[in-house]
Amino acid sequence: MMQPNNYRIDEAKYKSLLKYIRLSVTEKYEFPQEIVQIDGVTIATIGNFSASTGKPKSKKTFNVSAIVASALSGKEILKYKAELPSCKNRILYIDTEQSKCHCHKVLHRILKLAGLPTDQENDNIQFLVLREYTPDQRRDIIRWALHEEQNIGLVIIDGIRDLIHDINSPSESLDIINELMRWSSYYELHIHTVLHLNKGDDNTRGHIGTELNNKAETILQISKNNENGKISEVRAMHIRDREFTPFAFEIGEDSLPHLVKEHQFKKNKMDRLTSYTDMTEQQHRTALESTFAESAEYGYQSLLDALKKGYESIGYSRGRNTLVNLCKFLLEHHAITKNGRTYSYNPSFHL
């Protein structure tokens, strides 16, 4: 099978690859194994990748620590219940930002949350500190680690921004997302990464954020509570499964995250609009007018990009899979019409 690094595919290699990449009508394909859930809602499966996002000091790393601790112990921690395959029960944790001292605190926190000893090495977690290396070197180290380490089922990359030079480079962003897809598929594991949100809004940063939104299985948003900054709230920003009920946690005197029970959530923009099928006709009109403000016609991919921006303008932010279904919905209700290979807005539609 094709190795997860860059090489050209000639005719001979293409023919040898066909048995792996050609889909058969008669063969049965198993659904990817679910490894992390929240209240029975799947947020992570083998062969895919996900992300945690949030503004600085929102406690993103504490949230990730709970996921890792659950995967190490099999216990439910915060709201996470993780179970790795028995043949892939090891975790590779990669930190690109913090010093060894701070990373050591994270490792201790994970082991404490998991109820495991902190005075001896644990073979089920490998923690790599890559702060002093360049983006290219970091990626090379990750490639070698995935190649050399055995029985890895979960990989944490905190944070993905440090694997590229320019966060606003479309080509670099697409390249690293393709790496995540190759690594997770080829090595049959799940990758969970961390990315900051923009300071001025709740959008993921740069082109890398856009690509994450389009390709990730799940994106979790961690944010500070407006009334009590000691409390962090966890929501689904994008998710392929149904959305889970948000939950909150705070840091206790033991320096560990603890679930805040019966926390009262104030609805944000994402909460108010849970489905495009529940929107009013006027909400769709407002979003579509914004979508087609810059152009009267779009090709399919350009239409999806424009729909994303248009519907985000009314507080509905979703990933590619939902946008594809939204596009079908709009075509079925004649809000968008297809003319050959282009799509245009029909303002006379009615739902």
What pLDDT does 208 receive?
87
As a dihedral over the C-alpha atoms of residue 329, residue 240, residue 27, residue 190, rounded to 10 degrees, the angle is 160
d(CA 246, CA 256): 19
Asked if 75 and 166 sit in the same domain, the reply is yes
DSSP secondary structure letters along 169-238: -HHHHHHHHHHHHHHHHHTT-EEEEEEEBPSSSSSBSHHHHHHHHHH-SEEEEEEE-SS-TTEEEEEEEE
In a shared domain, residues 262 and 290: no
State whether 36 and 178 are in the same domain. Answer: yes
Are both 311 and 243 inside the same structural domain? Answer: no
Q: What is the pLDDT of residue 9?
A: 79
Find tokens 């403000």 and name the residue.
293
CATH code for the domain in which residue 255 is found = 3.40.50.300
170 and 249 both lie in a single domain: yes
Residue 75 and residue 165 in one domain: yes
pLDDT at 350: 81
Is residue 331 domain-resident?
yes
**328/305 same-domain check:** yes
CA distance 133 to 138: 6
Tell me what pLDDT residue 8 has. 75
pLDDT tens digits, 57-82: 899 999 999 999 999 999 999 999 99
Count of structural domains within the chain: 2
182 and 231 within one domain: yes
Are 34 and 69 in a shared domain? yes
CATH number of the domain at 295, please: 1.10.10.10
pLDDT of residue 1: 46
> What local confidence, expressed as pLDDT, does residue 237 receive?
83
Domain ranges, residue 292: 281-345
Model confidence over 38-57: pLDDT tens digits?
Answer: 999 999 999 999 999 998 88
For residue 137, is it within any domain? yes
State whether 334 and 201 are in the same domain.
no
Q: What is the DSSP letter of 279?
A: S
| Grouped pLDDT means (10 residues each) for the chain, 351 residues | 59 85 85 93 95 91 97 96 95 96 97 96 96 96 95 96 91 94 96 82 74 88 89 88 87 95 69 70 88 93 94 86 92 93 91 74
Pair type for strands 90-95 and 76-77: unpaired
Q: Give domain status of residue 319, yes or no.
A: yes
| Whether residue 220 sits in one domain with residue 118 | yes
Kindly state whether residue 19 falls inside one of the protein's structural domains.
no
Note whether residue 178 is domain-resident: yes
Establish if 88 belongs to a structural domain. yes
pTM of the model: 0.74
CA–CA gap between residue 248 and residue 220 (Å, rounded): 12
> What distance in Å separates the CA atoms of residue 207 and residue 317, rounded to the nearest whole number?
16
